[in-house]
Amino acid sequence: MLVIPGRAGKDTCDGVTRRELLRVGGSAVFGISLAGIFGLQKATAKEATYGGPGFGKAKSVILLYLQGGPSHLDLWDPKENVPDNVKSVFKPIGTKIPGVQFTELLPKLASVNDRCTMIRSMSYTPVGLFNHTAAIYQMLTGWTADKVSPSGQLEPPSPKDYPHVGSNIIRLKPPEVPMLPFVMMPRPLQESNVVGKGGTAGFLGRAYDPYTLYPPGDDMDMNKMDRIKTDDLTIREEVTPVRLERRGKLRDLINEGMPDIEEATKKYSLDEYYGKALSLIISGRARNAFELSKEPKELREEYGMNTFGQSCLLARRLIEAGTRFVEVNWPKVANSDNHSWDCHAGLSKRMKDQAAPMLDAGLAALINDLDQRGMLSETLVLAVGEFGRSPQRGVSTSGNENQDDGRDHWPYCYTAVIAGAGVKRGLVYGKSDKTGSAPLENPVHPRDLLATVYHSVGIDPGTIVYNHLNQPRELVQGEAVTSILS
């Protein structure tokens, strides 16, 4: 096999990218045409010039993952002059962007959307039934699952899974200070009894799993963030930092006398992981970041004194302390009631009284807070779910029963909100049709949205990683939406 490398020195997990490794089958080595060689050279040159608007402007990412699938029609893409069973029960209101309307559920976000880009053309056609777990897995890894049950659900998380976008990012762009690289809170991703699918490092290995912060209490407990426990980040009183460092040196001395063990564990980079863990605990940065009580009461109330709002505030504190990637999962499991976005019934009450006020306050406060602190220019903020809701209320699109006051799953058209780190302000990208059923222009697949995230943090989306079978795979087979970046 002939291997023609591209430019050297590219910092990737394996030192190569899709475009840097141009392989020609051994049987064709001596028969390759001049035109073929020029074609390979052109593809390699493309890698050498990879970049573009917004490339590398994000030092960190905050993903507000709205698991459950919020209704775009009842939040940020309302429609008028449509049949009653399509039209939102909520009144439209103006926003900071002339001519752009939200519903009355998002007055605070309407006052800051001039600092965001609204992507109103998120869209994909699912394979089989489009239920939550399969859609969550695709949205967070960029890949479709191999095994899906008749109900659309997946198997539990597996070491063979594709890595979460945050895991890939911290592998390629680790934090520059002793800090937790990737934090996920306040509850795991879940549909029914499938917990955590799409939320792990998969075949990258557990070293790149998120640090999970799941305080005790059920999903209806709005004060659970006041009971955060980070005992694993705390040094026992009788163990001083100096004593802990001495233990580390003792460990190094023992390892020097055990060359066979050292050689056997070399590929796991245990010394590197141990050193990072030791620095993290001694520095105290993570422990201090989790102290929400240090924030002014007025600011905490602005975010919302509930699980989602306080998680958004904590996300800002973690990013400020040096965390690279924070994911705030919507604090109610998909396929459930109350403030879940999965509104097959009771949409008008659940969204108005429970879900929308929390989203409105938390997201608006986060954007405003980051902007006032000068952090928004280098922090990418993304709010998105796995799909939207059906244009017609009371109609089944996924095999679920729906009442007249409910909407079913709808992956063909929905909305994402993105801000910060080179994202254009006051832009509406893409356009949905008259009923919010399909994009009229500029459709954006979840793969493209993830490619945009990688691009923003300075990673070529085509970078190659190797799976559990040592097979080369791209981070994501999508193209960054550079039209929304500057």
Least confidently predicted of 71-80, 223-232, 276-285, 466-475: 276-285
The answer to whether 308 touches 340, Cβ cutoff 8 Å, is no
Region of poorest pLDDT, from 76-80, 198-202, 262-266, 324-328: 262-266
Q: Which residue has the tokens 């989203």?
A: 359
Q: Is residue 280 over pLDDT 90? A: no
Residue pair 331/307 in contact by the 8 Å Cβ criterion: yes
**Residue 463: predicted pLDDT:** 96
Question: Residue 2 has what pLDDT?
Answer: 34
Asked whether 212 and 200 are in contact (CB, 8 A), the reply is: no
- Quickly count: other Cβ atoms within 10 Å of residue 157's Cβ: 20
pLDDT category at 177 given cuts 50, 70, 90 is confident
pLDDT given at position 269: 45
Q: What is the mean pLDDT of residues 302-317?
A: 98
pLDDT of 208 above 50: yes
Paired sense of beta strands 409-410 and 211-212, if any: unpaired
pLDDT at 5 over 60: no
Burial class from Cβ neighbours inside 10 Å (0-12, 13-18, 19+) for residue 378 reads: middle
pLDDT, tens digit (0-9, with 9 covering 90-100), for 350-366: 999 999 999 999 999 99
pLDDT at 195: 94
pLDDT tops 80 at residue 264:
no
Q: Which residue from 386, 200, 228 is spatially nearest to 315, judged by alpha carbons?
A: 228
pLDDT confidence of residue 154? 73
Give the type of residue at 387.
F
Rounded to an integer, the average pLDDT of 25-47 is 45
At residue 212, the 3 state secondary structure works out as strand
Give the mean model confidence (pLDDT) for residues 92-116.
98
Query: Is residue 26 predicted with pLDDT exceeding 70?
Result: no
Residue 270 exposed, middle or buried by CB count within 10 Å (0-12, 13-18, 19+): middle
Name the helix (H) or strand (E) containing 318.
helix 307-321
Determine which helix (DSSP H) or strand (DSSP E) holds 379, and give its type and residue range: strand 379-384
8 A C-beta contact, residue 26 and residue 291: no
Give the mean pLDDT of 281-308. 89
Q: Which residue has the tokens 């489009």?
A: 130
Average pLDDT on 444-466 reads: 97
Average pLDDT over the chain, rounded to an integer: 85
Q: Would you say the pTM of this structure is higher than 0.75?
A: yes
Percent of the chain topping pLDDT 70: 78
- Amino acid in the structure at residue 187: R
pLDDT at 263: 53
Reading the block at residue 134, the tokens are 């399969």
pLDDT of residue 442: 98
* Rounded Cα distance, 200 and 204, in Å: 9
